[in-house]
Amino acid sequence: MTPLRVLILGGTGEALALSRALVGDHRFAATLSLAGRTTLPVLPPIGHRLGGFGGVTGMVAYLRTERIAALVDATHPFAAQISRHAQRAARESGIPLLALRRPAWEPKPGEHWTMVPDLGAGVAALGRAPRRVFLTIGRQELAPFRAAPWHFYVIRSVEPPDPAHLPPRAEIIAARGPFAEADERALLIEKGIEVLVTKNSGAQAVRGKLDAARGLGIAVVMVTRPILPDADHVAADAEGARAWLVARHAELTRRGV
């Protein structure tokens, strides 16, 4: 049987882990697709592509042209649009889709979370009294915080954000995780942080900031995840996704496809 052609829609550590797990496995010919929002993305030693598909129609065309036999949606939990496109494209193409969805963070005893549905509500949750705020929401959705210029913001992202999107009082930290809890604690103390604003990505590699905030009694404004489309197949981690691909390959082999 020829290798199973797999398209992995990436943007998470799990996508990288799955890609690396498939390296050297001759049962699979995998390609990792990234949106291209990061100038210098981390790339595994498999085939890859950067940039969008041009909507559902473009994704369907790619799946058919490249003879993709299995699609894995391992995008960020907040990338709801690409997940919707993946679901529709898979159904139109008749290709099985696996959604790799890591569990959301849950507050631990002693954590003080204010849950908000979006970043606009997150800005309102900060209140009118000036505070020192640690923003870990990425670099592309900072503009809402310009509406609350009385706060001082420490903003961490993989790459520096567009200055036009920044609130007037801001300090930028360009860094890529993972971040150890001890380092996060030292950073929160050094910067005098009073409140942390973050999205519920569920990534264990960056949960250290929450544990550090809990230890210091720092409040957290947590943006809840958007509603994602239902998926016929779901895995919580890269190991589960690989197991699904192995089963898919075995099924096609039995059928002589």
Closest CA to 244 of 36, 24, 22: 22
Identical fold between 4-102+227-255 and 113-223? yes
pLDDT tens track for 208-240 = 999 999 999 999 999 999 999 988 899 999 999
Interstrand relation of 113-116 and 97-100 (parallel, antiparallel or unpaired):
unpaired
Which sequence spans correspond to the domains of the chain? 4-102+227-255, 113-223
DSSP 154: E
Quote the pLDDT of residue 38. Answer: 67
CB 9 within 8 A of CB 15: yes
What tokens does 199 get?
């999205």
pLDDT tens track for 110-129 = 888 999 999 999 999 999 99
Quote the pLDDT of residue 256. Answer: 74
Backbone angles phi and psi of 130, in degrees to 5: -60, 135
- Structurally, what CATH architecture does the domain formed by 4-102+227-255 represent? 3-Layer(aba) Sandwich (3.40)
Task: Return d(Cα 56, Cα 75) in angstroms, integer.
Answer: 16
Could you list the pLDDT tens digit for every one of the 257 residues in the chain? 689 999 999 988 899 999 999 999 999 999 999 986 666 677 778 889 998 999 999 999 999 999 999 999 999 999 999 999 999 999 999 999 999 999 999 998 988 899 999 999 999 999 999 999 999 998 889 999 999 999 999 999 988 999 999 999 999 999 988 899 999 999 999 999 999 999 999 988 889 999 999 999 999 999 999 999 988 899 999 999 999 999 999 988 888 76
| CATH no. of 113-223 | 3.40.50.720
CB 9 within 8 A of CB 257: no
250: amino acid identity, one letter: A
Backbone angles phi and psi of 253, in degrees to 5: -65, -45
